[in-house]
Structure 1
Amino acid sequence: MNLSPLPLAVFVVDASGAVASWNKACEKLAGYDAAAIHGMTIERIIEFDDPPGTHPRMAARADAENEAVLVCADGRRLPVRVMVAPQSFDLEQPGTYSVIVIPRAGELPPRYALIQDLPVGDIIEALPCVFYVIDQSGHLLLWNRQLEEALEMQAEELPTTNVKFFFDEKDRPGIVEKILSAFERGGSWHEAEMIGKHGKRTTFLFQCARSSLGNVPCVFGTGVDITARKRSEHAMLVRERAMSSSLNAIVITQCEEGEHRIEYVNPAFEQITGYPFAEIKGKDPRFMRADGHDLDERRRIREALKRKEGVRAVLRNVRKNGEIFWNDLRIDPVANLDGEITHFVGVINDITEARHYERRLHHLAHHDPLTGLANRTLLQEKLRTAIEHTMRNESCGALAFLDLDNFKHINDSFGHEAGDAVLREVARRLSENMREEDTIARFGGDEFVLLVCHVASRERLADLLERVRRSVMRPVHVDGQEIFPGTSIGVSLFPDDGDNSDKILRAADAAMYHAKTLGKNNLQFYSEELNQIVHEHLLLEASLSRAIRDHQMVLDYQPKVDLRTGKVVGAEALVRWRHPVDGMIAPDRFIPVAEETGLIVPLGEWVIDEACGALKAMRMLGIEDFVISVNLSARQLRQREFADRLGATLERHGVEPCKLELEVTESQLMDHPDDALEALAQLKALGVRLSIDDFGTGYSSLSHLQKFPVDYIKIDRSFLGNVGHDGHLVITRAIIALGHNLKLKVIAEGVETREQLAFLRKHQCDEMQGYYFSPALSKETLQEMVTRDTRLPD
């Protein structure tokens, strides 16, 4: 074996230069024994030819040839060349370094003195790589332990296997070609992945040289494990491709003496900014700043870069075409192996569209789409701020609640498009009359709110709002037609009428309703009297919800009498509220509250359930031909699947549908006649009886009346007040005649005198109810009356 005559002395040191291990050549060359070398630093043994005042770290000396002097144990100073090589290919994980010391020409000690003790076998086994000798047939002649470990094979298995089978099948032709090339040309090198017997894969950099063992031509070679390097290269490639493919713009700058120069940008950066890399390389990214914008954000960035820290900011930059764009910028520092910050990576996320969309959403979330005015949400925010301001500065503000009068009539008469045109015109007029610092909001439907932040006096406020009212009253021209809107206005002052937005809104709302009760189209301020009314209303509302839940409601039944036979044939269920403190509360006090709050729905369901229970009890007493009527609210009639739920209730109690009568008022039917007709048809299909209550007080047309599938009409009590009044006589007779002509039965309610009864009998009214025969009774008393067959006297 032809060995090199150069005596290679090799020290192994860590990153700080402390000697970790060495070979025998070090002791031969420098004259130190093992005890003397142990614990030394390499600078004690080798004096490097460094510039004065510098002390480079081992990493800085790597991969370069250094001129130096070897300080021997006997004081000799031997000129040498020094090579420093990292023992790891993974540059991200620095570790130990090999320091190779070679005497300069003319300084070599006697060759035999260095080689005589050189343990060649130990060197081959200790090599930090695989070593092999291959003959021309492709079989191993010689190898070291590292090759056995890489192949996961025993020594006796290796000579019998052709070396090409140590590699993946697709790589074998290339391996054979490289070995043949070494035989033909004297050497070759290549990278390949060696596969162990049990699947272990290791990537090596192989270098081959032609030689001979005796007369046998062969190839000597080594393979350095580059698996870590390949992983690192792959990772770097993936990162590079990721940066190149990223939808976000990426810019890398080199930081040097406080300057930041562009060193790399990805394609997304070029696309987003419009600047090609060649044009901006070496520039400071600040050239894209939008002057005059986001000064605080830019100051934060400068301070973070100065401290060499990461930072995130949202700011505006300028594209090459001059367009300003928003970007969410993240900047992070990058350190080298020595921990020194050398670069910064900036990631730019173009959020221009998101910002515009966010602003549009914010506008939509705070403004009415029809009129463009502030909506309820924005008004609440502005009102809270205004109240706080007035309380802090001891000033006064006002809230005016406007409700257009008869707007439903406008929609019904002219159409919803005309109604929308009126709303837009009213919004424009309000804007014309109010100050810029005031807030105008559409609160919903035909309701508007004016928030006046600074009120000089009550009188000047009244003048302003009266001017607004007159402005709204002017005719609105829509498609050649004149529409005359009016408005009722309620005003509350803050903080006098309340210290929070809910109180102020309630006060203005109460004042507005008061304006409507006074004849509409007028202006009313909130007062203590209204406050008391509102307070009682709120208490009643809260108590009513609790009353329904706690079973404080009771049903009384007013008997209905057949005027021909005098027999009790049915009863009207009348709900009463037995309050634990206030006693019995009349329906005219709580029914309107129930209608307004929606509590009429659960209350109505309870009434129907109780009435069905009473019918069931009647049947158990043997009373079959008996009908109980229940008043139905407009909310109940409009409910989806009301008929289905009613059918389920009747079935649960075992009550025939024809024994239940539902009463609806004339005005309920005429508000939405088509919807009412559909709802009544569903109820009629169920089999229940239907009647029109308070007949004669509404505005029903005969054409609609004929379509409604009703069984009874009830004459309102107002037409029986004075049977001697000619007008009442005519109307009452007409109603009875009309009902009979339409094949309907007629019931008179509120009969209180013998004269009224005689009049009804004379004109062949079918049934009656009222105090003349009986007031409303409890269920038990009614059952007793019917069981005794109590009758109306002749």
Structure 2
Amino acid sequence: MNTILIITDNDTDAKLLHDVLTQANEDTFNIEWVKHLSSGLERLRAGAVDAILVDLSLPDSQGIATLDKLFAVSSQIPIIPLCTTNNEMLTAEMMQRGVQAYLSKEHLDSNLVPQSLRNIILRKAAEALLYIEKRRTEITLSFISDAVIYTDVAGKVSFMNAAAEGLTGWSRNEAQGHHINEIMRLIDDETRQLVDNPVEWIVRRGKSLTLTDANTHLIRRDGRKAVVGVSAALVHDNAGRSIGSVIVFHGITAIQVMAAKMAYLAQHDTLTNLPNRMLLNDRITQAIAMAKRRGTHLALLFLDLDNFKHINDTLGHGVGDKLLQSIAKRLCDSVRGSDTVSRLGGDEFVIVVMQDKHAQDAALTAEKLLTALAAPHLIAGHTLHVTTSIGISIFPTDGEDAEALIKSADIAMYHAKEKGRNNYQFFKDEMNTRTAERLAIEGYLRDALERNEFILHYQPKVNLETGMITGAEALLRWLHPEWGLVMPERFVQIAEDSGLIIPIGRWVLREACMQAKRWEETGLRLDSIAVNISAVEFRLKDFANSVYTILNETGLNPQRLQLEITESILMRDVESSITILHQLKTIGVKLVIDDFGTGCSSVNYLHQFSIDTLKIAPAFVQEIGHDNGNNGVIVSAVIAMGASLKQHVTAEGVEKWEQLAFLKVQHCEEGQGYFFSRPIVAEQFAQLLVTGLSDRNRVS
């Protein structure tokens, strides 16, 4: 059964297509119908669609742009526009985009539609298979060590792989169309006579040929000679007719070269050329033996890049691979020649540091690595900022073999991530207990959504001039059946590392929007509802689309939704952040930089980010009134900056009267913190909206 996705908001057209396809005698179609392009794109990402019938005039997309968005998501699925037949310019543009057929709106009820659709699906499937087979063949031939040349029946070269280019001295493009006698001249080194070309030999005799005589030499394009072994065979079509030939050859000495190459590849990472796990284990074993003889220490540094997955997801694996190569070079440049830098896979690296007498030397190495990696990487036109978390284990304290040392360093690395990332931690025995708890939390988290164990608490945002509640921030809590109320500090990082934050984050966004809508419908309207967005969510390719979908589902006005994104997330990849923020602004939501003042952004970036609100980090607010030299200087500067940029400013973490008084003097517009209210459940917050904050002039 073929699944057909119809994208049109024209009920009549959709019904005509549905009727004509479901009543077809020879074909069985499963019809799915959506009215918006955004809904169609979301359905396509779920897969299992065989053809798309799309109206080019949709509520959320018009004209050729609709095709571009569909091709970006589903280039291998037949896309058949529904359009009128009197627009030749549009037809020409569609064909340029790769559209192979379209349906006229005047003839959607034709009995020919099902047959035409079936033919289009079959043709597209055949083309896809042919393309895949061709690419598979080319890729395979490009990576094998033997040289391969294809010719037509006349002996003219139609293809040669990289190994053939290397052996003959001809490039593929140069050799194309030349006769095999020009490209592959063979002589008998004893008689100095030309050897019959393999193609001519097999054409005359109609059978395969193998030459393994050590006297057979290939004369390269530059005149040099190489001893080769040659095999050749005819290529036949389905009817048994000869349509060409294939020649496979290799240098006789290549066997020894290949053996060495295979040994190297077995012990090294192909992307970075660093030692892999196999060679690492051997190096650690040797280092342990040496440390025992010398009575010295040995340190293992386990590095995991912070949020590397987001770069792959946003910019693609090509950029990610180049970034890994840049990181590998910096790591090698930052250690001694006696140390070993290896890549375990993905974004994980292990460094074996040969010590002299003191394990503290590993800390100096770790600090050097953190500094080296923190400098920006210029990759494919992108300025990328990457940090790493490092775990350190010491021989013999933390393990007496390679496996134990790697495990201990790995555990310490996770603790470095929990400490805020971009730092290093030494392994301690109590970390094993924390690791076991981490695994338990991750296991419980996987079922928490299905069991409805998450709840939201709401903390008010207050107009500092009037004392009125202006908005609410939705804060996630986990009501565990055994542990009770679990605060996010205990599980959010684990959810991010495991990817579980994606479904959890979408639940939070949907639930917060639904709650704001419920308050509105009962007359308790707020100016805004704020939701925190994690780095993992923000970097998803479909993040903006998911926000748009949730707003549509809940009916909440986009202007009333605030998305709070930390400054450090935005600064991780500025170019990508600007693009994503623009997509969100197009939807109409309000954008807030959370924890402002901690991410080292510039005024120029603030302007490019199109931010609506700066939210001052609680640590700066709580310095107000302290005798530490700062006494609110940073807060004053942020408020002034916000005013000059015409951006709203919210002070978070207001807990004392002195802080509130200072903020009012500085003309800060909005505050949030325990001074006004702790985060409370929806029912309590609704009551707070009714009674107001007049009696809440102290920390509650």
TM-score, structure 1 as length reference: 0.46
Give the aligned partner of residue 642 of structure 1.
543
Counterpart position of 1:491: 393
Q: Is the 1:566–1:793 contact (alpha carbons within 8 Å) kept by the matching residues of 2?
A: no
Q: Distance in 1 between matches of 2:301 and 2:267?
A: 18
The question of 1:764 aligning with 2:667 is answered yes
Q: 1:433 aligns with which of 334, 338, 342?
A: 338
- Separation in 2 of the partners of 1:722 and 1:421? 40
Q: Distance in 1 between matches of 2:368 and 2:474?
A: 49
Deviations, residues 689-711 of structure 1 (Å, cap 9, x unaligned): 11111122331211111222121
Asked if residue 400 in structure 1 is aligned to residue 300 in structure 2, the reply is: yes
SS in 1 for 2:632: helix
2:646 partner letter: K
Q: Does 1:731 align with 2:634?
A: yes
2:533 is the counterpart of 1:628: no
Q: Which amino acid aligns with 1:613?
A: M
Unaligned runs of 5+ in 2: 1-201, 217-224, 232-247, 290-295, 312-319, 376-386
Is the 2:591–2:613 Cα contact (8 Å) retained in structure 1?
yes
Closer/same/farther in 2, CA of residues 537 and 793 from structure 1, 3 Å limit: closer
Residues 617 and 357 of structure 1, relative CA distance in 2, 3 Å threshold: farther
Greater CA drift, 641-650 or 517-526:
517-526
Residue of 433, 437, 444 corresponding to 1:532: 433
Equivalent position amino acid for 2:463 in 1: D
2:458/2:473 contact within 8 Å kept: yes
Matches within 5 A, 1:379-458: 400-403=300-303, 423-424=328-329, 427=332, 432-433=337-338, 441-444=342-345, 448-449=349-350
Answer yes or no: is 1:509 the counterpart of 2:410.
yes
Q: Does 1:670 align with 2:571?
A: yes
Give 2:500's aligned amino acid. L
Q: 1:779 aligns with which of 678, 682, 686?
A: 682
Partners of 2:529 and 2:372 in 1: CA distance = 51
Q: Cα distance 1:737–1:450, how it changes in 2: closer, same or farther (>3 A)?
A: closer
**Separation in 2 of the partners of 1:322 and 1:703?**
61
Deviation at 1:532, TM superposition (A): 2.3
Q: Which amino acid aligns with 1:757?
A: L
Please state how far the C-alpha of 1:556 moved relative to its aligned partner: 0.3
Give the conservation status (yes or no) of the 8 Å contact 1:569–1:626: yes
Give the match for residue 612 of structure 2.
711
For residues 227-376 of structure 1, what are the structure 2 equivalents within 5 Å? 245-247=206-208, 268-269=209-210, 271-273=211-213, 363-364=264-265, 366-369=267-270, 371-376=272-277
- 1:667–1:445 CA distance, 2 compared to 1 (3 A): same
Q: Which residue of 1 aligns with 2:654?
A: 751
Partners of 2:297 and 2:358 within 8 A in 1: no
Rg larger in 1 or in 2? 1
Preserved CA contact (<8 Å) 1:491 1:512: no
Aligned-pair CA distance for 1:652:
0.7
**Counterparts in 2 of 1:526-675, with a 5 A limit?**
526-675=427-576
CA contact (8 A) 2:649 2:668 kept: yes
The residue that corresponds to 2:592 in the other structure is: 691
- Alignment partner of 2:508: what SS? helix
- Letter in structure 1 aligned against 2:561: L
Residue 272 (structure 1) shift: 3.2
- Separation of aligned partners in 2, 1:687 and 1:519: 32
| Contact 1:566-1:792 within 8 A present in 2 as well | no
What percent of counterpart residues are identical? 34
CA contact (8 A) 2:391 2:412 kept: yes
Aligned partners of 1:515 and 1:524 also within 8 Å: yes
Contact 2:624-2:658 at 8 Å conserved across structures:
yes
Question: Secondary structure at the residue paired with 1:727?
Answer: coil
TM-superposed deviation, 1:647: 0.4
Give the Cα–Cα distance (whole angstroms) in 1 for the partners of residues 663 and 365 of structure 2.
Answer: 54
1:775 Cα deviation from its structure 2 partner: 1.2
Cα drift, residue 663 of structure 1:
0.6
The one-letter code sitting in structure 2 at the alignment partner of 1:771 is Y
Q: 1:670 to 1:507 in 2, by over 3 A?
A: same
Specify whether residues 448 and 354 from structure 1 end up closer, same or farther in structure 2 by C-alpha distance, changes over 3 A only: same
CA drift at 1:563 = 2.4
Aligned residue-pair number: 440
Contact 1:568 1:791 in 2 (8 A): no
Report if the CA contact (8 A) 1:407-1:419 is conserved.
no
8 Å Cα contact 1:371/1:427 also seen in 2 = no
Cα RMSD (Å): 5.2
Residue 608 to residue 374, structure 1, CA distance change in 2 (3 Å): same
Equivalent position SS for 2:667: coil
Q: Tell me how far apart the structure 1 counterparts of residues 422 and 521 of structure 2 sit (CA, whole Å).
A: 57
* Cα 1:509–1:245 shift into 2, 3 Å: same
Which ranges of structure 1 fall in alignment gaps of 5 or more residues?
Answer: 1-240, 248-267, 277-320, 328-348, 390-395, 479-484
Q: Deviations over 1:96-138 (max 9, x none)?
A: xxxxxxxxxxxxxxxxxxxxxxxxxxxxxxxxxxxxxxxxxxx
Q: Which amino acid counterpart does residue 491 of structure 1 have in structure 2? A: S
SS at match of 2:671: strand
Query: Contact 2:528 / 2:561 at 8 angstroms: preserved in 1?
Result: yes
Please give the alpha-carbon distance, in whole angstroms, between the structure 2 residues aligned to 1:711 and 1:521: 29
1:750–1:770 Cα contact (<8 Å) kept: yes
